[in-house]
Amino acid sequence: MKYFAPESAAEAVELLQARPGAGVVAGGTDLVVTARGGGRPLPATLVAIHRVAELDQQRRTADGIVLGALTTHAWIERSEDVRSRWSALADASAMIGSPATRHTGTLGGNLMNASPAMDTGSPLLVLDASVELRGTGGIRTIGVEELLAGPGRTTAAPAELLGAVRVPEPAPGTGSAYVRLEHRRAMEIAVVGAAAAIRLGPDGVITSARIAVTAVAPVCLRIPDAEAGLLGLRPDPDALATASHVALAAVRPITDVRASADYRRSMTAVVVTRALALAARRAAGQATDDRPPAGIRRAS
């Protein structure tokens, strides 16, 4: 095996370009742990990016926040700024693995691993995030929705590096949340997850809604039909339950070791309702106590 640890993003991209089949490793909590567990073996050439300081920066801009690909889940869960403005993302990062996983695992790795059960995917979809992909031709920016192609697949070229995730400033009156159904909180991934972002007008009526679901389709999935049905309504239980049932028509869950497809489908409504309710409470300035939100436990 060949191992490189470049100190700049440009050098990392050149290495990937020059060595077809080379793989990036950031924290290694997916790539290395999977290989050690007998899953997909490590690539013959590894380009480790942990020394690339420019990928480990977080900065506020006039219109949002830019999180370098090496931003850890621990950084995100601790950031007061992210917790208050981009709450769904902070919820998700705070749920991942264990403290050790969150201090090692990165936002870039979570996205590029492209698991349908990744926790940050749906929050980034409802927060309208985009990613910067760095290749030999420069940087291109695409939406997270465009990046995710299927289980373990992205639309990034093999020699492209994820450089940063850009998350726009939410409009005033917006609240967001991520909730997951889980067997237990630590060291376990979502059985079903849902993220929601709700904007309330001064009269308490929903003026914008975004919903995305996790682990119930080949990719984290936005549900525009359910979002559209909420506009102009107050976030009362009937409205949220109706939107959640619309969401059921869009999901395509599979049966695996964690749950059957039928169970996942029926629980989608519960998880979406809870994410919407918490996002609406946050939008109204009424939720201060639940960070991250308690998970919904699956009875075993």
Smallest separation (angstroms) from ligand FAD to the CB of 78: 16
- Choice between 112 and 269, CB closer to ligand FAD: 112
The number of residues in the chain equals: 300
Query: Looking at beta carbons, which pairs linking 128-133 to residues 24 or more positions away fall under 8 Å?
Result: 128/167, 128/168, 128/210, 129/165, 129/166, 129/167, 129/168, 130/165, 130/166, 131/162, 131/163, 131/164, 131/165, 131/166, 132/162, 132/163, 132/164, 132/165, 132/166, 133/157, 133/160, 133/161, 133/162, 133/163
- Choice between 26 and 269, CB closer to ligand FAD: 26
- Choice between 187 and 228, CB closer to ligand FAD: 187
- Choice between 110 and 130, CB closer to ligand FAD: 110
Q: Which residue, judged by CB position, is nearest to ligand FAD in the bound state?
A: 109
- Choice between 28 and 292, CB closer to ligand FAD: 28
Token pair for 191: 């059985």
Cβ 295 vs Cβ 95: under 8 Å: yes
The single-letter code of the amino acid at 260 is: S
The binding site for ligand FAD (CB under 6 A) comprises 23-31, 33, 49, 69, 95-97, 101, 104-106, 108-110, 112-113, 118-119, 161-162, 187, 189
Smallest separation (angstroms) from ligand FAD to the CB of 224: 24
Smallest separation (angstroms) from ligand FAD to the CB of 203: 37
Smallest separation (angstroms) from ligand FAD to the CB of 249: 25
The single-letter code of the amino acid at 96 is: I
Smallest separation (angstroms) from ligand FAD to the CB of 171: 27
